[in-house]
Chains A and B, each alone.
Chain A
Amino acid sequence: MLEAVNLYRTFTSDGVDYEVLKNVNLKINQGECVAIIGKSGSGKSTLMHLLACLDTPTLGRIMFEEQDVSILSEKERNLLRNEKFGFVFQQFFLNGRETVLENVLFPLRIRGMSQYKMIRAGMDALEAVDLKAKEDKKAKDLSGGEKQRVCIARALVGIPKVIFADEPTGNLDSNTGELIEKMLFDLNREKGITLIIVTHDSDLAKKCNRIIELKDGEIIKDKIKKGKKFEEAQKVDELTKTDSGQTSETSITS
């Protein structure tokens, strides 16, 4: 469903180019629960941003549901993110002065949904994270764990295909972290939402059914859980090198 083909991302700062991602190839299927791990600075967040259409690759392509997203217009990408993706970040990015419900509703407000449908969807999402009772509270008055649950509700409210979570438990103690993890996994299992979690936490990673490890911008491991053990996944590199790899090259020269 979500595919990266010969992905490169280069940042330029002070005139020096940093190749943060080098030739990343990867294919994520619907309903998978993927952990992206690696050392700090290895390019995990960068990869996630590219997959989530928040950033454009320097070279290569991102395919979502068989559609090359790099040829989409700004507007279409906004719509795609709004309707198909949900986001949970390490920092919560909630609007503290607004109520819990209002924070959750924000993606739907952008969508321009009718008030009645919007509030129903919002309450359902709050129910899923067990915060229905606090809908009227100002977001700033919540605890860290509650805030992250509001974020999950916000990611969930638009009924997305994929939820991207960048270190969702990074700011929480281990107990609260586990609660958040459980909620995310439940969504994955019960609603079939594809989960892509960027994390440092190897325990969290092991609970996912696929682990992708990055080092210096390259995938060094890609393991899928088979029963209780992880096995090396089919190399996407080899899969795509024959077809799409070459087409992308020819398309550049032509």
Chain B
Amino acid sequence: MKLRDLLRIANRNLLRNKLRTFLTIMAIFVGAFTLVMTNALGDGMKDYVENQVKNREGANILFVRKKFETPNSGRKADEPIEYKEKTQDEAGNVVDPNSYSLDITQMESLKKDLPEIKTITPRFDIDGEYITLDGIKKYKLNLGMLSEGIKQKVEVGSTITGTGEIIIPLALGKTFSPDIKTLIGKDVTIAYEVGQSGEIKMMQLKIAGVATKGFMANGNCFVDADSAKRIYEDQHRNSDGFNKFWNFTFQLDTSNDKRIGEIKRKLDEKGFSAETFADQEKRTYDAIGILQIGLNFFAFIALLAASFGIINTLIVAVMERTKEIGLQKALGMGSEKIFLLFTLESILIGFWGAIVGVIGGIIVGTFANILTTAYLSSFEGYSLFSFRLFSIVWVILLVCVIAFLAGVLPAFKASRLNPIEALRYE
């Protein structure tokens, strides 16, 4: 028997009792719809994170800090932490094992064992006052730094390549000049406070680029590491913990995953935690993934309930069609064809339920996106629901598989019918 014929017969059988088929499909629809929406919600978040995170890159970059003593390393969360005596290293620096802050010389000494490290940049904590292009009109300045080796995506110009450079956000760039291209290479003046004194210091920087919108780059200006260092020293020279840092950025001479893995392992042995951009991304993705699995779980329950609907519908159909099945078998239709016919019917129910669910999901999701844009304006480029082809195909396939599984029992029952008993069936 040809598959096309079986499909046609399966379709006709479903149309026999339209209301019953419709109701069964509706049950599947609810499950499929939920699954589409929960997936789209997760994908929306992933899209957002992707856009934001991909704004910066650097395959040879490691973010390093001292490992925290985590509660799961054998200590209960509320247990008091034991004090460890301070020591001195070979260079005569005081090493405080109780603190998470480290000075640059301590970090530089890592290079001895790890020659792959090209540069080490501490994360300088800097504060800006204002920025001005023409010296007259001033804008409030949120200042950050771009560690050596990290590339910032730009609309025009380039990422920072030398010292005395700055990258400005797109909105600021457009305020400076409608044609942002003309800004590249121009000098801007930034102002920052020195210490707690209130004294203002200026610095001239060259605009290297105008940043593409993204998580960090939406409101911040970024300067190169050297300029950041100068500002940091001006601002913190007299404060406690001067030149002690929690976070460092390592630029490596390799972007080979295996070698980076090796370096991470060595750093781990020395008591450091090291993450690449990919690790950071993965961490966020994993969090979203877990959320998505949690949400999908509820959709699954809806689908499970719906699959009992399929089982029920088909078992009733087997009973109704006992004589017909008997005749089909008498005329030489094999058990496997009967089995196939019933599973095709259940897959068709699943398929149509999934299709309606997908269409419904996309309609509802698109409306929801339009309605929520106003509320989500602070998250630029974030839409609540994102419909990825992959997720949609995945949902349809999954629902079809679940429907198939639901169809197995009735199909098996039908295929096992004895033709003469089926023909005698009252």
Mark B1-37 against chain A: 1 for CB-CB distance below 8 A, else 0: 1100100000010001000000000000000000000
Query: Are B419 and A54 touching (Cβ within 8 A)?
Result: yes
Query: Are B334 and A75 touching (Cβ within 8 A)?
Result: yes
Interface hub of A78, A82, A89, A98 (most chain B Cβ within 10 A): A78
Q: How many residues of B contact A (CB 8 A)?
A: 21
Mark A115-137 against chain B: 1 for CB-CB distance below 8 A, else 0: 00000000000000000000000
Closest to B334 in A: A78
Is A215's CB within 8 Å of the partner chain B? no
Neighbour of A107 across the interface among B12, B332, B335, CB < 8 A = B332
Among residues 72 to 89 in chain A, which have CB atoms less than 8 Å away from a CB atom of chain B? 74-75, 78-83, 87, 89
Closest to B12 in A: A97
Query: Are A95 and B335 touching (Cβ within 8 A)?
Result: no
Query: Given the complex of chains A and B, what is the CA–CA distance between A87 and B330 in angstroms?
Result: 8
Q: A residues within 8 A CB of B419?
A: 54
Q: A residues within 8 A CB of B423?
A: 89, 91, 93
Known interface pairs A55-B420, A93-B423; A110-B333 also in contact (CB < 8 Å): yes
Interface hub of B323, B328, B420 (most chain A Cβ within 10 A): B420
Query: Are A81 and B12 touching (Cβ within 8 A)?
Result: no
Query: Are B324 and A81 touching (Cβ within 8 A)?
Result: no
Query: Are B327 and A93 touching (Cβ within 8 A)?
Result: yes
Neighbour of B332 across the interface among A49, A82, A154, CB < 8 A = A82
Query: Are B331 and A87 touching (Cβ within 8 A)?
Result: yes
Q: A residues within 8 A CB of B333?
A: 78, 110
Query: Are B12 and A110 touching (Cβ within 8 A)?
Result: no
CB distance from B8 to the nearest CB of A (A): 9
Is A15's CB within 8 Å of the partner chain B? no
Q: Can you list 25 A-B contacts (CB < 8 A)?
A: A49-B420, A52-B330, A55-B420, A74-B334, A74-B335, A78-B329, A78-B333, A78-B334, A80-B332, A81-B330, A82-B331, A87-B330, A89-B423, A91-B323, A93-B324, A95-B324, A97-B12, A97-B16, A106-B328, A107-B332, A110-B328, A110-B333, A110-B337, A111-B1, A112-B2
Identify the B interface with A (CB < 8 A).
1-2, 5, 12, 16, 323-324, 326-335, 337, 419-420, 423
Known: A54-B330, A82-B331, A87-B330. 4 other contacts (CB 8 A): A78-B334, A80-B332, A109-B1, A111-B332
